[in-house]
Amino acid sequence: MNPPSVVDSILSARYLRKGEKDFTDICRRVASALADDENERARFYEAMISLRFLPNSPTLMNAGTEIGQLSACFTLPVPDTIDGIFDAMKEGAIIHKTGGGTGYNFSHIRPEGSPVQSTDGVASGPISFMRVFNAATDVIKQGGRRRGANMGILNVWHPDILAFISAKKKEGEFSNFNISVMVNDKFMDLVAAKSFETVWLTKGGTGEKITVGQIWNGIVEGIWKNGEPGILFYDEINRHNPTPQLGEIDTTNPCGEQPLLPYESCVLGSINLAACVREGAFDEDLLRDTSRMATRFLDLVIEKNVFPIPQIAEATRKTRKIGLGVMGVHDAMLMLGLSYDSEKGRAWCEWVMKVITETAIEESHRLAEKLGTFPAWQGSIWKDYEVRNAAMTTVAPTGTISLLAGCSSGIEPIFSFAYTRKNTVGKVFVIVNPVFKEALLHTLTGMGYAGDEREKKAGEVISHVHETGSMQDVAWLSAEFRGLFKTALDIPWREHILMQACFQKYVHASISKTINMPGSATKDDCAEALLMAWKLGLKGITIYRTGSREDVVLALKEKE
């Protein structure tokens, strides 16, 4: 089985290596590079070729090749020295070249204006250095395949926090960075208590006082305007740090799903839940079997990985974290008749994630018995139960691999049931979600439509969905049908957060997800969403209000 033909261009641009013709060649190469025996090779091949499980892009691109770098996620420490800062930039460049994304916490860098002893000068601060990292990323295309991605983090207790929060205000600035503020419980407690006048920090040198309210309003304003900064919850992340004896975690990879220690890397892989639905029923045995296979697969990726620098090899092998996750969640729910924004739907998701995590732990335990625990096991949270991996589950964005698999990405709801896509020669197609199309025809049949008339009616609905992105206003369609086929924007933002929280309950690492808000959402809504996320125990949150980025572009255009 090959992926949908519309993704031919992705295959050739990203994954096909010299001499390879199609997806089967890729699966063969990857399975052979990883498997220890023929039986395992066949299992890996079958899981990928049936699009039921795919590893992250670097594994698909580089397994069995000279590059051999197989991980998507990296975090690099940035110390407060010129040497150290430029080392981090160089290390980042090497990682980008091989297809990985890098996360940096810039908080160790002394604030702008502080003294620099050796030169008698003043420091230029973390944001000025971020600008150099951004420029470096611009020039390194990853073997011509994709441009690097970075996460830039600043702790809420760093004196340059206000400048950081508004760093991306101007469209196009820091375009190779996602930026996130690392907030702690102490700060959130003050926000929850509405202690906005409280002085949060005093700047050295100038003595300028910054209040809780100034920071909070800056964050909320930024999110409302253009979706950034994202927020990371330091204490929640560290409450779940599996190896506290190795130090605290203050950094994540670019899309936020992997909080990692300095120099750690993580390899991701995602199970396509839609491929576990057989004739309208969910195949639990198949999910368990796939979870076991995937755990072994990802552990082998660590084994066979060619790490870009020695510190990364060392840190990664110490904890052996893997990131098993899901995609095609919304597709599977629709096939099973479960609404995304319902208790029943969430209960099912929670159950699925519980099964995956439990199975991954079991398999990691089995691997530990055979091959040994991860080296930092003693002193870790697993000290009473032998496992081979310090963390096993996550939810990645699955940006490219979900396109390959032809399924909805990660745990995101579908954006539109009909949309336009261009193929490589520029021909435009309207792609209609097959589950939606089938259910629509079924509904129309139930309403008494048949033959050409039914086709015509279906065409009307599809055109409407294609034009407006929704069919919630097509009043003659049953409420039940409309209730099921809701899109990301039809689903209230609170329900997005509830869904992220129900997955987070069983996910070891974190979750990459966008909380979509309508254009009409207010700053108060953004503030409330952040507080809700914190209270529900999320490790981070990303919000995007419809049209906000375009608004910025329009506003800029008007000024010209």
CB of residue 401 to ligand ADP, shortest distance in Å: 4
Whole-angstrom Cα distance, residue 362 to residue 357? 9
Please name the residues in contact with 178: beta carbons below 8 A apart, sequence gap of 6 or more: 149, 150, 151, 152, 228, 230, 254, 255, 256
* Catalytic pick among 73, 255, 502, 526: 255
Catalytic residue among 91, 257, 264, 412: 257
- Of residues 12 and 378, the one with the C-beta less far from ligand ADP: 12
Least distance in angstroms from the C-beta of 395 to ligand ADP: 9
**Smallest separation (angstroms) from ligand ADP to the CB of 309:** 16
Give 3-state DSSP helix, strand, coil % of the chain, rounded to 5.
Answer: 45, 15, 35
The burial class, CB within 10 Å (0-12 / 13-18 / 19+), for 93 is middle
Q: Which of 51/149 has CB closer to ligand ADP?
A: 149
Closest alpha carbon to 133 in 188, 86, 64: 86
Q: Cβ of 554: how many Cβ atoms within 10 Å?
A: 11
Q: How many CB atoms lie within 10 A of CB 118?
A: 7
Min dist CB 54 to ligand ADP, Å, is 8
Report the residue closest to ligand ADP, judged by CB.
Answer: 101
Asked if residue 305 lies in contact with residue 100, where contact means CB atoms within 8 angstroms, the answer is no
Torsion of CA 110, 114, 119, 121, to 10 degrees: 140
> Shortest distance, CB of residue 258 to ligand ADP, whole angstroms?
7
State the Cα–Cα distance between residues 180 and 165, nearest whole angstrom.
8
Note the residues at the interface with ligand ADP (CB under 6 A): 56-57, 72-73, 100-101, 146-149, 253-255, 257, 268, 396-401
- 257 catalytic, yes or no? yes
Report the nearest approach of ligand ADP to the CB of residue 72 (Å). 3
Start-to-end CA distance of the chain, whole Å, equals 51
State in angstroms the smallest separation of the CB of 252 from ligand ADP: 8
Distance (Å) of CA 228 to CA 31, 45, 139, 549, 556: 39, 40, 24, 10, 18
User: Angle at the Cα of 288 (from 283 to 289), degrees rounded to 5?
Assistant: 95
Could you give the C-alpha distances from 4 to 10, 73, 410, 423, in angstroms and in order?
A: 11, 27, 18, 11
Query: How far from 87 is each of 49, 91, 152, CA to CA, in Å?
Result: 40, 6, 16
Identify the active-site residue in 176, 241, 253, 305.
253
User: Minimum Å distance from CB 137 to ligand ADP?
Assistant: 9
Name the residue nearer to ligand ADP (CB basis): 339 or 500. 500
Q: Return the number of the residue (58 or 126) whose C-beta is nearest ligand ADP.
A: 58
Q: Which residues pair with 154 in a beta bridge?
A: 181
Q: Which residues are bridge partners to 96 per DSSP? A: none
CB of 351 to ligand ADP, least distance (A): 23
Contact between residue 54 and residue 272 where contact means Cβ atoms under 8 Å apart: yes
Q: Give the total residue count for the chain.
A: 560
Q: Of the candidates 300, 234, 255, 317, which has an alpha carbon nearest to the alpha carbon of residue 72?
A: 255
Looking at the Cβ atoms of 222 and 325, the one nearer to ligand ADP is 325
Cβ 429 to ligand ADP shortest distance, Å: 22
Asked if 511 contacts 504 with a C-beta cutoff of 8 angstroms, the reply is yes
CB nearer to ligand ADP: give 7 or 444: 7
Q: Which is nearer to ligand ADP, 147 or 344 (CB)?
A: 147
Which CB atom, from 300 or from 401, has the smaller least distance to ligand ADP? 401
Compute the C-alpha angle 255/61/35, nearest 5°. 105
Question: CB burial class (10 A; 0-12, 13-18, 19+) of residue 268?
Answer: buried
- 75 vs 373 by CB, closer to ligand ADP: 75
Dig out the tokens for 111 from the structure.
């604030």
Give CA–CA dist 379/369, Å, rounded. Answer: 18
Nearer to ligand ADP, 91 or 257 (CB): 257
Residues catalogued as catalytic: 253, 255, 257
